Structure formats: C-alpha cells, structure tokens
Amino acid sequence: MLACLWLAAPSFAAPPTWDANAQGQFITSLCRDTTGHVWIGTEDQGVWRCDPAAPAGQQYTHYTTKDGLGDDNAYALTCDKAGRVWVGTLNHGVSVFNGKAWRTYGPVDGPLGSRVFALAVSPKDGGVWGATEAGLFRYQNSRWTYFTREGGLPSDQAQALAFGADGTLYVGTQCDGIAVGSPDNNYKTWRVTPGPNSLPNAASGRGLPSALINCLLVTSDNTVFAGTTTGLAKSRDGGETWTFVRGLDWTAKLAGLYHPIAPAPSTYTGDLLTEDYVTSLAEDERGRLFVGHRQTGVEAFEAKTGKRLQSGASGAKTDSYVDCLLLSGRSAWVGQYGGGLLPPADLLAESETSPAPSPVASMPAPAAPPTLSELNTMVAKAKSLKGEMPVGGGAYWGEDWQTQGDWVGRYGRKLAILCAARAPFNHDIQMEASYSVHETIGPHHNLDDGIRNWCTLNQTDNPKSLYDPIPGHRRQSEWDDHGEDYPRPFNGPDIWIAVTVPEGVKLISLYFTNKDGHDLDNRYRDYKIELKPYQASLKLADTSPALAQARVRDFWGGIYKTFMVSGPSKYWIKISKNNSINTIISAVLIDKLNGPVSKKDNLALGWMGGVHYDPPDPDAPVVSNAHLLDELLAGKRSNIKTSLETNSLVRQDKRSNPSITISTKLWSTLNTICNKQDNVVLQKPYRLLAYRSATVFDAPETLQANWRWFLKIWYPLDRANFNEVMAKAHEELINTNPSMKGANF
C-alpha cells in the first residue's frame, strides 16, 4: 500500500473537510498544481481537485473514468511546468489533464508500462519522468524516451523517483536498490547501490539497510533520503555513500529470524524511527523532515541531527496506515491508506484568495513509432546476443497488471494450479505430466503448522478473481502461510513452491490479488519473491543465493509476476511474508517458450469441452465480415484460409509497409533468442515498440491481435472474445459431461 505526505503553506477561508466514505478511504497520491489547487489520488475512486480557499461545500471537483481517466486508481500525481496534471494509473499508463480535458497514454502511445508507481518533474529541463513495471519513461520536448535494464538500470521494477536541483535523478527500485543517473550524459549510464539481501544487525550503520526501496526525497540542502522496508537511509554526497537508521522494532525483527542474530552496538546519537517500514517522506520550509510509516503514523525530525520533533497527531485513527500531522504556522496534508485524507486544520491569520483557474495547455504528443533505423538496430542487437541460458538458470521476465482474472489461454498452457479452488484441494489443469508444482510452508514455523487452503468466494463477479473453467465462473481462493498466527516481526513462515519443468525454456507465472487488502492489517501485505535452485533441504535452499527476485506490493488490482527458467530442472520459489500479516497466492501457471515439439502442444486446453482458445493467427487475411473477424481473433476459426472462397473476406495485405516488415522481423527474431542468457532485457520493450509500429502503420488486425495476446494488452474486443469463448467452452464441457451440471466442483 502506498501512503503519501505533501506539505504546503496555503491559508484557507474555511478548512476543507474530507468525507472518507463518500470520497475515498484509500489515498494513494497528492500534489499541488501551478495554480494552487491540491490534487488527491485515490484507489478505486478516481482523482479529486481541491480549491482550499473556496466556500465550504464547493472545494472539491471529482474526476473518474467518465471524465477520461484511464482507470479510477491514481497511484502517482505530478504537475508539469505547463500546468498539466499527470496521473499514474493501475493498468492504463498515465492520464493527463490540460486544464480542460483528460487524455490517457498507455503502452501504445506513451509509457511502455501500464502500471505507474511514481511521477516526477525535472527541475533542470521540465521533463516529466515516470516509474513503471517496464522501467522509466521521460516526456520532454514532445518526445517519449525509455530507460530499462537494457540501458543499465538494475531492474525494470521501478518504484520511486526524486530529482536533485541539478537534474540528478535517483531511482528507487522495488528490490534492487537505488540507481543514480546524471543529465550530463543524458542518463545513459547508471550508478547502482544494490542494498543488502539480509537484515542489518544494528540500529544504524553504513550503506542501505535494504534493497527494497519505497520512497525517495532530495531535500533543499541536496541530502538524499531513501525510505525502505528496513529503515531510513541518507546520503550527503549524491548517493555515493549512505548511512541508515532503523525503527524501534529492529531488535524484535532480529529475534524473529530463522537463525536469530544478536544485536550489534550502535553509536547513533539521534532518535530511532517509530518503526522500520517507511512509506513517505517530505520536507518543510524550515528543513524539518517528515517520515510516514505503515503502522505508526507520521513523525517529524530535525534533519541534520536526527532528533525527533513530533510523533503522531490528533485526529487520526489508530489503525490508519499513516496518521496526520499539524504544524504551527504550516499545513500538512496526509493521505491515509484506510483512513482517508486528513486536510490541514491549522489556519494562518490571513486568508488567501482562491487559486487562479487552471491553465489550458496543449496535450502531450503521443509517442511516435520507432524509425526504420531504430527497428533495424533492435533486430541487430537481438541477433547479437551470445551464450545460452544454462540448464537450471533463471531470470525475472516481467509483470502484468492488465489481464487480472482472465488468465485462460494467455497463461498456464502447460500447467495451471488454481490454489485451493476446491479447498482443501486445488484445481489442477495439466496438459503434460512432465510439469509439476508442489507447495509447502517455509522451514521457520510452529510445530505441525502448514499451508492453509482457503476458498473465500465460491463464485464472484470480481474481475480480479481468477476465472475457473471447471465450474465456469470466477472463484476467489488462495494458499495462505498462516502468517497471521505469528508475531509481525517473525521471519516466516512464507510459502515455498517446488516447480519441475522439462527440457527447454519455460515461463513460471504467479498470480496475486490482495482480495481483502482494504481491511485492517491485510493492507500491509508486501512480499519478496526469490527464484532459487532446488535443494532437497529447505534449510539449505533458504541460505542459497537467488537466481532472480521480484516484489509484490500494492496489489489490490491483481498482478502476475513471471520468471523465465531453463529445463530440464527443478526450482524453488520462495514467497516471503516480509514482516507483513501473511503470504497468499492464487495461482501458479507454466508456459512453454521453446523445447522439443510435443503432440500435446496444439491440443485444446483442459476443461474447455474441446473448444480451442488460442492466439489469433497473425498470417490470416483481414476479413470484412465482422462475425468471422470475432471468431478469428478468438482463435476459433482455424480454417480461415479455406473460407476465402465461400465467405466475403477481403485480403488487405499491408505487410509490405517497411516498418511493418521490419517490426515483424524483430518479433520473429525475439522468438528465436528466448534461450539466450540476456534476452529478457530486450523482450518486452522491443515487442512493445514493434507493436507500436503495427498500430501506427495500420498492420492487419489479425497481426495486431496476435501481438496483443502475447504482450497481455487488452482491448474491449479481446475481453469480449474471452467472455464469449469461456461461456461456449463451459457449455460444451457440460454437454459432454452432463454429470457436472449443478455439481460442486
């Protein structure tokens, strides 16, 4: 969960009030625009603009998808120098308000990522930067540029951004530390501080306390602060070196380790944080530092000495994600994940006039497709990769926020485990016996404890819950490590998953949705995932280094995390509770990228009544008959070419366009290099750019639909086809198995 703290100095004719039940309990972002309006981002309830000086009852204006937002989740907010307000959404990229209207920019015409975690404006050149699941984007001078693992970032899982006054950019990643880039070389290289993978044994020390970064702040004296899951780090030399301070819970965490560590002495003379987990940072005009936490609210420090000035505030709920803070002669707006907005309640002696009307600026230009030269460079780069991924190797592939519960066909084509879908049993949809998945509780647990299997909703319409083809509807179920039965500082129990794959390169995807994540301690779920070589002893596996890692946080919207592996081999996947309430997971899904051809490769998916739901044929002709086109895109018309003579199909061969030709070549090349050691850094960005060319130059719809399928980009037509095919498949399943009708599966 994301909490936000924003400090301002307006005065008000009447203090604005916030109705959490009507306006939103889950505040995820805040910013102030160039005219003085305060913008409030929420989860599920869109964006609000506040005019603090307006009369009571007229202070808020509400914006949702009905007004043009990409979706009703605003996880990041910023205002650029032209006065435009940028909103980072759940799975639609960024939505921009120009003072009059909204426009949304997604992977086709804006950021490469669909989920935006942070936004920031460069003080040097006014460029707008965003942190996404696909790395960074920059919009400047009507041009979008991208920064990913290919260009030296330690990870595409970017979480936080902050600028120094000279344009130096600090990037906090979800589990790979901090990267620092300079405008002097146009951010072409990155200096990385990775952070430790184990818990520090002291209350303070040198370096980062954790590789899991939550937030960043550069203060007025150019000190850099980094909020992590394990304390607060500080650098006075531009990120070259760091020192850290922990929270009051640091000794309890050491005692809760599987192999407890004795606390080391510390010479730190400041005050410890009220807790380790830092959610948000802000500085006021006096240079005081304000630190938001997951459970203990907001505290204020003298930044230079580390002495606490204030902890907690009146008016906040005790179970709030972040409590409010009121400052004498200043005002603090505090966003709470679960408690709503706590606007300023302290008034200055003078009132100010209402902010000026929002300026009407031009909309940002859409992202241009890559040039022919750029496409050719990408093809050459892909072909130049050397060295194959070794058997038993692994890498982080990426994540998907768009698919949500509609996994069938796009995931799990070799094996799908729907966790506890028929609790206490799973629904296993297995296409080949050479794939296997087995779950267990981690080594650090109470005697006789084990994985819990919960089916919390036997049937639901929630699109974030997985569709289950066996009963023919959505079902919410999950494995649970029973972590709620242990103290919060206890390290474990965690969920461990043993996965076996046959020869070839495969993808292992894990699906998470924080289905009750708006309730009490369930808000705190935040996991670290590690892909490890298999060892028979969990104790040995626990101490072995990870092949790849990822993090799951803020997953109310549902997320797939995917790893690439090379078989024949066996792996452990460790999902750490990470001092949250418990570990839950809804599905484990395995797909084949390459390997020996199997007779089962082209079979209809299991429990689909023989109905095929396959990727659309990219080489099929475009059709003029809308019904046939729907069937083609749904993967149901395998004899489309023989239908040319009997149906009025019009072949529109647009592949002769040079950009489409080279984009297709790039796509094919990427298919052939999936066994290469470093191919993961190219796959998603290059495929997205190829797809962008296909859309701009009007490639055949069947080609575009095929590429959308593999990129996990969903258009309304794709979603409608999914629902139609699932309904037909379940009908056929019941027709061929009448005993299933009305049965409890």
Strand partners, 320: none
Least confident window among 138-147, 152-161, 723-732, 733-742: 733-742
Cα 9 to Cα 12, 286, 353, 448, distances in angstroms: 10, 12, 13, 57
Residue 6 φ/ψ, nearest 5 degrees: -135, 130
pLDDT digits (tens, 9 = 90+) for 164-183: 999 999 999 999 999 999 99
Could you give the CA distance from residue 301 to residue 288 in angstroms, rounded to a whole number? 6
DSSP SS3 for 252: helix
Instruction: Report the pLDDT value the prediction gives residue 38, as an integer from 0 to 100.
Output: 87
Residue 1 has pLDDT above 70, yes or no: no
pLDDT digits (tens, 9 = 90+) for 397-438: 999 999 999 999 999 999 999 999 999 999 999 999 999 999
When pLDDT is cut at 50, 70 and 90, the band that residue 312 belongs to is low
Instruction: Report the pLDDT value the prediction gives residue 481, as an integer from 0 to 100.
Output: 97
Contact 287, 220 (CB under 8 A): yes
Q: Return all residues near 707 (Cβ < 8 A) that are at least 6 apart.
A: 618, 667, 687, 690, 691, 694
Instruction: Report the pLDDT value the prediction gives residue 360, as an integer from 0 to 100.
Output: 84
Instruction: Report the pLDDT value the prediction gives residue 667, as an integer from 0 to 100.
Output: 97
Residue 723 φ/ψ, nearest 5 degrees: -65, -40
Per-residue pLDDT, averaged over 44-54, amounts to 91
Give the burial class of 498: count Cβ atoms within 10 A of its Cβ; 0-12 exposed, 13-18 middle, 19 or more buried.
Answer: middle
Instruction: Report the pLDDT value the prediction gives residue 654, as an integer from 0 to 100.
Output: 59
204: which 2 tokens?
Answer: 């303070």
State which amino acid sits at residue 177: G
Strand partners, 376: none
Question: Peptide bond preceding 424: is omega within 30 degrees of 0, i.e. cis?
Answer: yes
> Residue 151's closest CA among 208, 98, 190?
190
DSSP SS3 for 591: strand
Instruction: Report the pLDDT value the prediction gives residue 369, as an integer from 0 to 100.
Output: 97
Per-residue pLDDT, averaged over 610-628, amounts to 72
pLDDT digits (tens, 9 = 90+) for 520-555: 899 999 999 999 999 999 999 999 999 999 999 999
Residue 729 has pLDDT above 50, yes or no: yes
Per-residue pLDDT, averaged over 722-737, amounts to 95
Instruction: Report the pLDDT value the prediction gives residue 300, as an integer from 0 to 100.
Output: 84
Q: Return all residues near 464 (Cβ < 8 A) that are at least 6 apart.
A: 404, 405, 513, 515, 556, 557, 558
Q: Return all residues near 19 (Cβ < 8 A) that are at least 6 apart.
A: 340
Residue 350 has pLDDT above 60, yes or no: no
When pLDDT is cut at 50, 70 and 90, the band that residue 28 belongs to is very high
Share the mean pLDDT of the chain: 89
When pLDDT is cut at 50, 70 and 90, the band that residue 451 belongs to is very high
Residue 12 has pLDDT above 70, yes or no: no
DSSP SS3 for 276: coil
Structural domains of the chain, ranges and CATH numbers in brackets: 4-342 (2.130.10.10), 369-397+614-714 (no CATH), 401-602 (2.60.120.260)
Instruction: Report the pLDDT value the prediction gives residue 740, as an integer from 0 to 100.
Output: 81
When pLDDT is cut at 50, 70 and 90, the band that residue 346 belongs to is very low
**Of 346 and 528, the one with more pLDDT:** 528
Per-residue pLDDT, averaged over 598-619, amounts to 91
Sign of CA dihedral 721, 403, 622, 732: negative
The pTM is what?
Answer: 0.93
Per-residue pLDDT, averaged over 662-687, amounts to 96
- CA dihedral (58, 60, 65, 70) in degrees, to 10, reads 150
Per-residue pLDDT, averaged over 223-233, amounts to 97
Instruction: Report the pLDDT value the prediction gives residue 491, as an integer from 0 to 100.
Output: 95
245: which 2 tokens?
Answer: 């301070």
Per-residue pLDDT, averaged over 268-281, amounts to 91
Residue 429, CA atoms < 13 Å, CB-side half-sphere: 28
Quote the distance between the C-alpha of residue 679 and its chain's center: 21
When pLDDT is cut at 50, 70 and 90, the band that residue 662 belongs to is very high
Q: Return all residues near 672 (Cβ < 8 A) that are at least 6 apart.
A: none
Contact 7, 332 (CB under 8 A): yes
pLDDT digits (tens, 9 = 90+) for 452-462: 999 999 999 99
Residue 651 has pLDDT above 70, yes or no: no
When pLDDT is cut at 50, 70 and 90, the band that residue 347 belongs to is very low
Residue 468 has pLDDT above 90, yes or no: yes
Residue 237 has pLDDT above 60, yes or no: yes
Neighbours of 453 (CB within 10 A): 18
> Residue 168's closest CA among 209, 215, 216?
216
When pLDDT is cut at 50, 70 and 90, the band that residue 278 belongs to is very high
Cα-Cα end-to-end distance for the chain: 34
> Residue 553's closest CA among 527, 575, 531, 577?
527
pLDDT digits (tens, 9 = 90+) for 476-517: 999 999 999 999 999 999 999 999 999 999 999 999 999 999
Could you give the CA distance from residue 298 to residue 321 in angstroms, rounded to a whole number? 10
Length of the chain: 745
| DSSP states along 50-73 | E-TTSPTT-SEEEE-GGGT-SSSB
Residue 317 has pLDDT above 80, yes or no: no
Cα 68 to Cα 91, 99, 109, 600, distances in angstroms: 14, 13, 16, 45
When pLDDT is cut at 50, 70 and 90, the band that residue 628 belongs to is very low
When pLDDT is cut at 50, 70 and 90, the band that residue 744 belongs to is confident
Residue 284 has pLDDT above 90, yes or no: no
Cα 421 to Cα 14, 456, 723, distances in angstroms: 53, 9, 20
Query: Strand pairing of 526-533 and 495-512?
Result: unpaired
21: which 2 tokens?
Answer: 């039940």
